[in-house]
Amino acid sequence: MVRVRIAPSPTGLAHVGTAYMALFNWAFAKKNQGVFILRLEDTDQKRHVLEAEEAIYSALKWLNITPDESPVKGGSFGPYRQSERLLRYQEAADKLVKSGTAYSKDGAIWLKMLPNIVFKWEDAVRGKISFDSNQLKDWVILKSDSNPTYNFANVIDDLDMKISHVIRGEEHISNTPLQLSAYQALGQKPPVFAHLPVLRAADHKKLSKRRDPVSLQWFREEGYLPEALLNFLALQGWSHPEEKDIFLADEFAKLISLERIKTSAPVFDFKKLDWLNGQYIKNKDNQELTDIISQEFAPEIPKELVGKFIPLVKERLRKLSEFKGSVDFFLKTPEIKLSLLTNQTKYSPSEIKQALIQTIKAYENSSTWAVAELEATGHYLLEITGWTPRELFMTIRVALSGKTATPPLFEMMAVLGKDETIERLKLAAGTVK
């Protein structure tokens, strides 16, 4: 039976590295009809930080990779908070003292490191790894305050929770020989280890919370879709057998194998993440996008309007946080810079004014204000002005929005409505002297 876990320490924000480990463990459990567990390694803390725990739950829920067993959703191998298992670690340490593999000194309990042993394991990602015990020293398993050390609690938990595979970051490779010495002292067989490459910033240093945006809350507020973030994280540690760039977590969970996990991660490339996110936004259902944006990114804009804007702007969004900026001109009459209007064509201000007046006249006669009619009128205007489509439509676009990059012109006009469109065209014509 495959049983895997993530074991984050709840210290403040929910970290993108936790999502990365969660994704790989969740996918591996799913692939093997196993169980995915969330355990909280909270013994090193002065006090239990409840908000930090909440942040982990809500991040996993947002990502839709929820554990089968966790402190809130119990299982027969719980409790899943280390702070609730202190007696268990003390009992295990006492047993080792009785068997002679550990001893007390200065109020702490130490595990003896036997000389001339090679601690070796077949890492499912990296192959054979070994450490010579002569390089290692006796180590504390229970501190003088009776709290276990990380390496000891981690081993006891993995045994009690019947963890079959420990899938975690490569920064824990150096802990593994100490943990193996604990398995040996306890007379137990260790799980399979698989060490994933850590997430690295552009300078190849490990992502750091002091330097890089790592909080999952930040990713959410920035407007990354969970599907895009998961896809990106999967690519950090794994490559698709068909070299696909875009795939959902469910597909990853069908295809994952530990052998395909990379030994080094590409750097955390925000340009790539933005691109990927843009693809997911483009392909996402309009109604779902409307719901998310209304709730989280533009609660002050009436939802009905959000729903109208989305099909017009979704192609261009890379992050949902860009939504408001991309529709602001719909809601507020833009200020038109005269130079922006006159720089779009070779024509003189009076010729531009003339074209705008012809445009106003033609559109004043529009009866249905449907996209097809607006477009037909646009083509009629090309004929009577003799301007190229680029010249005329860019001039109208700037007149209506104050920008050169907007949604498709006629769809934009349809959403603006007749009165507003005519009024803006008149205002723009009035500014040209």
Residues marked as catalytic? 209
The closest residue (CB) to ligand GLU is 168
SS3 125: coil
Q: Determine which residue in the list 16, 38, 41, 387 makes contact with ligand GLU, applying CB under 6 A.
A: 41
- Regarding 9 and contact with ligand GLU (CB under 6 A), the answer is yes
Rounded to the nearest whole angstrom, what is the least distance from the CB of residue 278 to ligand GLU in the complex?
Answer: 32
Residues 136-155, interacting with ligand GLU (CB under 6 A): 154
Q: 403 CB contacts (<8 Å, ≥6 apart)?
A: 329, 334, 397
Indicate the DSSP class of residue 106. T
Residues 261-280 that bind ligand GLU (CB under 6 A): none
Among 3, 4, 7, 96, binds ligand GLU (CB under 6 A): 7
What is the DSSP pairing of strand 118-123 with strand 108-111?
unpaired
The stretch near ligand GLU (CB under 6 A) out of 84-92, 166-174, 295-303, 406-414 is 166-174
- Note whether 8 binds ligand GLU by CB under 6 A: yes
- Tokens found for residue 105: 């000194």
Alpha carbons 232 and 109: distance in angstroms, whole number: 43
Output the smallest distance, CB 17 to ligand GLU, in A.
8
User: Length of the chain, please?
Assistant: 433
Residue whose C-alpha is closest to residue 51's, from 217, 213, 199, 210: 217
Name which position in 168, 195, 220, 314 contacts ligand GLU (CB under 6 A): 168
Shortest distance in whole angstroms from residue 203 CB to ligand GLU? 22
Give the DSSP per-residue string, 10-63: --SSPBHHHHHHHHHHHHHHHHTT-EEEE-B--SSSSS--HHHHHHHHHHHHHH
Beta-sheet strands, E only, within 338-432 = none
The least CB distance from residue 166 to ligand GLU, in Å, is 6
9/395 with CB nearer ligand GLU: 9
State the number of binding residues for ligand GLU (CB under 6 A). 8
CA–CA distance, 427 with 360 (Å, rounded to integer)? 11
Shortest separation between residue 83's beta carbon and ligand GLU, angstroms: 13
Please say which residue, 5 or 30, places its beta carbon nearer to ligand GLU: 5
CB of 169 to ligand GLU, least distance (A): 6
**Candidate segments 2-10, 81-89, 127-135, 316-324, binder of ligand GLU by CB under 6 A:** 2-10
Q: What does the alpha-carbon distance between residue 169 and residue 25 come to, in Å, rounded to a whole number?
A: 11
Looking at 172, 314, 319, 424, which residue binds ligand GLU (CB under 6 A)? 172
Phi/psi region, residue 196 (left: phi>0; alpha: psi -120 to 50; beta: rest), is beta
Q: How far apart are CA 371 and CA 368, in angstroms?
A: 9
Kindly tell me which of 96 and 196 has the beta carbon lying closer to ligand GLU: 196
Task: Return the HEC string of 361-386.
Answer: HHHHCCCCCCHHHHHHHHHHHHHHHC
- Of 149 and 406, which CB lies nearer to ligand GLU in the complex structure? 149
In the 8-state DSSP scheme, what is residue 64?
A: T
Pick the closer one to ligand GLU by CB: 10 or 378. Answer: 10
Q: Least distance (Å) from ligand GLU to the CB of residue 7?
A: 4
Which residue, 8 or 223, has its beta carbon nearer to ligand GLU? 8
Distance of CA 93 to the CA centre of its chain: 40
Nearer to ligand GLU, 139 or 270 (CB): 139
Question: Is 158 in contact with 192 (CB distance < 8 Å)?
Answer: no
Q: Which residues bind ligand GLU (CB under 6 A)?
A: 7-9, 41, 154, 166, 168, 172
